[in-house]
């Protein structure tokens, strides 16, 4: 089974990720991994930390001549800001962060030690692992990308955008949103938040194209594809809600206005004219684009901190201040792309095998032929 495990602290020596169960025979581009890491760092409203770090990956195991051979793949991303031994102790927990809950759970009084691992810096490991998953999926024509739907109260003109246009817009737009006018409004809102010492959240959308029908299962709750997607997105720091397709809007409509009617053409097989279900029915992918929205709360660290309590003196105190972003919704979208790519690849290998690329391709080819005869 494909799985990954990460280690490292925000201001430690670096972040390590081990990707286990990755098949042999896949050609890997380190440049593509580094490009994904750089995408995670950009976006209007990011903090000073992004100017310090210049993330690049070092591959410690699992590759020979840039090709996988079935061993666990170990990736390391060095922290330039390696200052953990010199940073101040944190005693006033930040509302909305893991500080107080983590301190109570692990019986740790220096909340710096909670912050260091709970920090979103850990997501650099997910993006590195996710790049490897994306590179595998491209061998089967599957692509994953994201764009911003809203920052604070500002939304794009329409979430029903052309799928063909989104990859281009994602490359050109600093916020990776569809409307130029909306992007200007979003930047203005971020500027206001920065001046007032506040932060902003928002909504991103991840879309995966050419996902085959049949990934996941209805047989058990933990095999349902939408359940795996939900857990993956909600595991990203500050993401408090996830939506597949038009799930929220659908909840207030009658069934006749929600279900995606089924059609058939001999040349193309079964198809839908709508995709309100977001590409998943009954816990199984149905061949339509996978569409997932993530809802990100405003970042917990504020330049004008909220009320808290000193955990030693128990007296009222202002919450600790740390370097932080004003807004990181576009970056969260990049992390979500990686998590979606991981879930798709894991489910893909569960269905088509995981030993080596040639066998997987043969299994997949036979499956497609069988579908054509259905």
Cα separation, 40 vs 30, in Å, equals: 16
Domains identified in the chain, total number: 1
Cα separation, 254 vs 271, in Å, equals: 22
Cα separation, 374 vs 9, in Å, equals: 51
* Residue for token pair 């081990």: 18
Domain hosting residue 139, numbered range: 3-372
Max intra-chain CA distance, the chain: 74
- Look at phi and psi of residue 244 and say left if phi exceeds 0, alpha if psi is from -120 to 50, else beta: beta
One pLDDT digit (tens) per residue for the chain, 374 residues: 999 999 999 999 999 999 999 999 999 999 999 999 999 988 888 766 555 667 999 999 999 999 999 999 999 999 988 888 999 899 999 999 999 999 999 999 999 999 999 999 999 999 999 999 999 999 999 999 999 999 999 998 655 556 666 666 666 667 766 677 888 899 999 999 999 999 999 999 999 999 999 999 999 999 999 999 999 999 999 999 999 999 999 999 999 999 999 999 988 889 999 999 999 999 999 999 999 999 999 999 898 999 999 999 999 999 988 878 899 999 999 999 999 999 999 999 999 999 999 999 999 999 999 999 89
Cα separation, 300 vs 11, in Å, equals: 18
- Look at phi and psi of residue 310 and say left if phi exceeds 0, alpha if psi is from -120 to 50, else beta: beta
pTM here is 0.94
* CATH code, domain carrying 247: 3.60.150.10
């Amino acid at each position: 089974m494909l799985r990954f495990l990460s280690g490292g602290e925000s201001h430690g020596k670096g972040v390590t990720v081990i990707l286990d169960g990755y098949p042999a025979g896949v050609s890997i581009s380190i440049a593509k991994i580094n490009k994904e890491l750089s995408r995670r760092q950009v976006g209007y409203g990011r903090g000073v930390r992004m100017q310090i770090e210049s993330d690049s990956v070092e591959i410690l195991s699992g590759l020979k001549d840039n090709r996988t051979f079935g061993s666990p793949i170990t990736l390391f991303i060095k922290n330039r800001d390696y200052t953990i031994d010199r940073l101040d102790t944190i005693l006033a927990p930040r509302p909305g962060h893991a500080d107080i809950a983590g301190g109570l759970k692990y019986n740790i009084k220096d909340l710096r030690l909670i912050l260091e691992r709970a920090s979103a810096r850990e997501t650099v490991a997910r993006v590195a692992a996710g790049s490897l998953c994306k590179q595998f999926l491209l061998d089967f024509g599957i692509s994953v990308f994201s764009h911003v739907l809203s920052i604070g109260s500002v939304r794009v003109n329409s979430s029903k955008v052309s799928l063909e246009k989104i990859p281009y817009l994602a490359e050109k737009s600093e916020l990776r949103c569809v409307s130029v006018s909306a992007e200007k409004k979003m930047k203005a809102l971020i500027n206001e938040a920065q001046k007032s010492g506040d932060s902003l959240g928002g909504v991103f959308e991840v879309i995966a194209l050419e996902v085959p029908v049949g990934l996941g299962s209805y047989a058990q709750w933990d095999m349902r594809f939408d359940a795996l997607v939900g857990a993956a997105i909600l595991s990203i720091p500050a993401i408090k809600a996830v939506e597949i397709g038009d799930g929220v809007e659908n909840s207030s409509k009658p069934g006749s206005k929600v279900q995606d009617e089924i059609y058939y053409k001999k040349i193309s097989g079964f198809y839908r004219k709508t995709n309100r279900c977001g590409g998943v029915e009954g816990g199984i992918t149905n061949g339509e684009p996978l569409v997932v929205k993530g809802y990100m709360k405003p970042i917990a660290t504020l330049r004008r901190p909220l009320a808290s309590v000193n955990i030693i003196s128990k007296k009222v105190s202002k919450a600790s201040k740390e370097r932080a972003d004003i807004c990181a919704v576009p970056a969260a979208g990049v992390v979500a792309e990686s998590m979606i790519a991981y879930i798709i690849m894991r489910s893909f290998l569960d269905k088509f095998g995981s030993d080596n690329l040639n066998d997987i391709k043969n299994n997949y080819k036979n499956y497609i032929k069988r579908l054509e005869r259905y």
